[in-house]
Structure 1
């Protein structure tokens, strides 16, 4: 793992990963667990049911919490719809009662992977998009983050050293120069970077920091399913004209597991000088170069370099 972290680097720290069910959220929760943190894993998909989720998938917050614990941390699953103000208010009250405060908040709520549409629908003008779906993307990608910060940040500012991580797609620099799929998607992913800047302005007087972090090309559960591969066989997706699934573009060779961005977040949380990152926007690859950690296969991929 990283030189900057180890199995006890975050022992005793309390982290909340909002949107921990799958993808980057699960990877971040797992990496915080590797470093010994107690991780409150929230999301809509639970063993108790996922009727409020936009996905019909098998991943659950309970499975994420089990992974956190198996890796050396303590996973605590809590089913929450982060669009529901009362549910998030209740979450904050529960955390305050059970733990008193939090050290790390990760805003990874998304849930619009299906709503953004397949590649043939990208780069179409707004009037050719479904407006209801587009506005739902904004709610899932922005309102959830704002609601979560409103209720949970008060639990972090009572002592210096807190860290807020806003997870997005693309750094502020990259997104400023590249149109991202559609007006709706572009707005959300650009705005989340700005959220880290805005929150960082508000958190600095309390000795806390906010950082926007983007993974590269993520080998999430949904991405692996799309290419009909597993984490063990993902390179098969690069084979041209393969009979058992679609062929991935060459850039997929530089894809990363969700644990890679997670290790970046863990390294930030363990860095006593984390305040130097306040209001910045960085990629998992940039953090890997800074802190020296690798992905689970020992590589340091940089999907943005090939993009």
Structure 2
């Protein structure tokens, strides 16, 4: 999903810094942006590591000057019975899904404030809005992202910062399809056929990118602190 968002941003004229723990993936995304005539700069960084985040932020500010948009996409999933979840599982999910957003946001918000404001889009999930068996810790981390979103929005709205969250359902990415396979291993069918009754079709990365782009844009200038389900009405249906 991060790649689709980066490409869409670049299409709209943004210079994009691509931060990923997977350096090869970051470079591939930046190359795709460049091949389409845009500006994409890859940064290999572990967003849970203080030193690496500080170094990446310094490089970004040096390369781009002013940062107006931040998309917090780092995330992973755990499909596991709650009673079997270990402290290491808990710590890993909290670090990747929550700490990463805290770390990079805390470092860039003062910069945004000093430069007239900005827009932050957080990656949450429909798992923050309803319960899913085997995803208690994952859902908890995504609910934490929603709490972080609304509190940043309220604290910084008078200083020109907007912060909103997107909440995709099942998305056709390697990560999303892998999640479906993990459910299947536990006897739970979230195949594309089974998803028809919930979201009619599987969500595409471009569906998510379009909503993220809108929230980041001036067209959404009066939206702040919202969490938008990208699920074709699944949460509304109940």
Q: TM-score, normalised by structure 1?
A: 0.66
Q: 1:142 aligns with which of 90, 95, 98?
A: 98
Shift of 1:178: 3.3
Shift of 1:305: 5.5
- Structure 1 residues 150 and 35, CA, compared in 2 at 3 Å: closer, same or farther? same
The answer on 1:68 being equivalent to 2:29 is no
Find the residue that maps to 1:142 and give its secondary structure: helix
The answer on 1:221 being equivalent to 2:162 is no
User: Counterpart in 2 of 1:271?
Assistant: 218
User: Counterpart in 1 of 2:15?
Assistant: 38
User: Counterpart in 2 of 1:21?
Assistant: none
Q: TM-score, normalised by structure 2?
A: 0.84
Judging by fraction of residues, say which structure has more helix: 2
Please list, as runs of the form range in 1=range in 2, the aligned pairs for 1:85-124 lying within 5 A after superposition: 85-110=50-75, 112-113=76-77, 116-117=78-79, 121=80, 124=81
User: Counterpart in 2 of 1:197?
Assistant: 150
Find the residue that maps to 1:254 and give its secondary structure: coil
Please list, as runs of the form range in 1=range in 2, the aligned pairs for 1:133-172 lying within 5 A after superposition: 133-170=89-126
Structure 2 contact 125–142 (Cα < 8 Å) conserved: yes
- Structure 1 residues 99 and 191, CA, compared in 2 at 3 Å: closer, same or farther? same
Greater mean alpha carbon deviation, residues 141-150 or residues 263-272: 263-272
Structure 1 contact 254–303 (Cα < 8 Å) conserved: no
> CA RMSD for the aligned pairs?
2.6
Q: 1:262 aligns with which of 201, 209, 223?
A: 209
Cα distance between partner residues in 2 of 1:83 and 1:276: 31
- Structure 1 residues 222 and 143, CA, compared in 2 at 3 Å: closer, same or farther? closer
Q: 2:136 aligns with which of 166, 183, 190?
A: 183
Shift of 1:72: 4.4
Shift of 1:221: 2.4
Find the residue that maps to 2:221 and give its secondary structure: helix
Largest Rg, 1 or 2: 1
Unaligned runs of 5+ in 1: 1-23, 48-59, 229-245, 286-300
Structure 2 contact 47–53 (Cα < 8 Å) conserved: yes
Find the residue that maps to 1:277 and give its secondary structure: coil
Unaligned runs of 5+ in 2: 182-189
User: Counterpart in 2 of 1:282?
Assistant: 228
Shift of 1:216: 2.5
User: Counterpart in 2 of 1:13?
Assistant: none
Structure 2 contact 121–215 (Cα < 8 Å) conserved: no
Cα distance between partner residues in 2 of 1:306 and 1:255: 16
Find the residue that maps to 1:196 and give its secondary structure: helix
